[in-house]
Structure 1
Amino acid sequence: MREWINIAKPAILSVAIVLGLLVEVHPAHAGPKETLTVAGGCFWCVEADFEKVPGVSEVVSGYTGGKVDNPTYKQVTRGGTGHYEAVEIMFDPAKVSREKLLHMFLRSIDPTDAGGQFCDRGASYRTAIFVGNEKERDLAERMVAEAEEDLGREIVTPVLPKKKFYKAEKYHQDYYKSEEVVLFTRFGPTTRAKSYKKYRKGCGRDARVRQLWGNAAPFAGS
């Protein structure tokens, strides 16, 4: 018996190694991710807010809702493209629900403002929720109605059909935490992260959100 065990050991070890490699190559399959597309004014700010939410794996800044293919930042902010500055929020529905994200989104913006957001004015800075089917539309409209009741004021943030989303230029992604130095800004030479913080404070985003939503504001001051 001992001889048989000694002979079998190398084979058993080989099988164990192969199984271990298979586990590394084929890890347990994670649940399907979902995407929520919203426009909340400056996409740097919306990206910075929602990347802090547990269950959110990534937030991408971009443009959507318009009629121009592959738009640039200058085109969108100049106007005439129909595009919004928007974000795609990728999330795990087992960890955070679409309903909760919509609840947080509506309380992180000024949904009473139809002309832009905070210091950023113009069509590209308007707010919106983009939906891909009737189930998403029903949920979004219900969340808007609940937010309107909580706020006690008319909400003008529309629920719109989802259109093709165009990823913004590379330098816009994770702008809020980039340590890359920018020489020419309204604040002089600084990193993008520092420039973002000064912009956010100067634009009055958090102050206005706190004024509207009080303690219900999930990100103001973050």
Structure 2
Amino acid sequence: MSGHFKFVRYDSAELTTAGKQLVDAMIRGYDRSLEPPTEAWTELVLDWFACAAGAFSGQPVLVDARAREVRADWRPFFSCLRDIPMRTSRAEFLLDLTHSTYPDYIGRYYKDAYWDECLLGQREVLLGLESEWGRCGDVRNTRVKVLEEAVKLAAIRARTKVLVFGSNDTEQCARLIADVALLRYQVRDETPWLLVDVPWRWTGQSWQPSFDILKGTERPAHPLLRPTTGS
């Protein structure tokens, strides 16, 4: 797709650009008179980030994610995003979606030559992504499900990480960001994270997707933590 964002360096600056472009496109392109199922949002996210895979150090990037579920086509719901190509990925690797420097395995996964190639080159997960929408109107269940996916991201080594979730109100959005920031700090993860909130329909509040970037190594503010001495 011409003009679509592409990762090259896989750093916090590119995560910021990706978050801004994705959120802007959602705001401009989503017809809020329609009610897409959560499966359609998931397909959108997976296709968008699959399309965002560029080259890294001059080498092609492998995208792994489950195959498309044709029954949940997202394109009718998003007017300005319909030209994003459908991903051609075949299976998940560790997470909902990954970009990596592993060689493509189509047609040769069970051959020695493929595994020899894997062993002779430097291999790295460049981006790991999980998405979890939670449940509309159920704050507690949503927190549990989102953190369950965040723990998966925290457990793997990747150059960058992305977590897409759905909040039930602005207070929960802020709390989920704080929760994930604390999790990242507690596991001593120094890689940058992109957090994208695609909220459920908030009662009495405007619907507004947003994103945040987690980076650095300082202890984040969180209601569960006592203030540090001198603060």
Higher RCO (C-alpha 8 Å, min separation 6): 1
Superposition TM-score, scaled by structure 2 size: 0.29
Which has the larger share of helix?
Answer: 1
TM-score if structure 1 supplies the norm length? 0.30
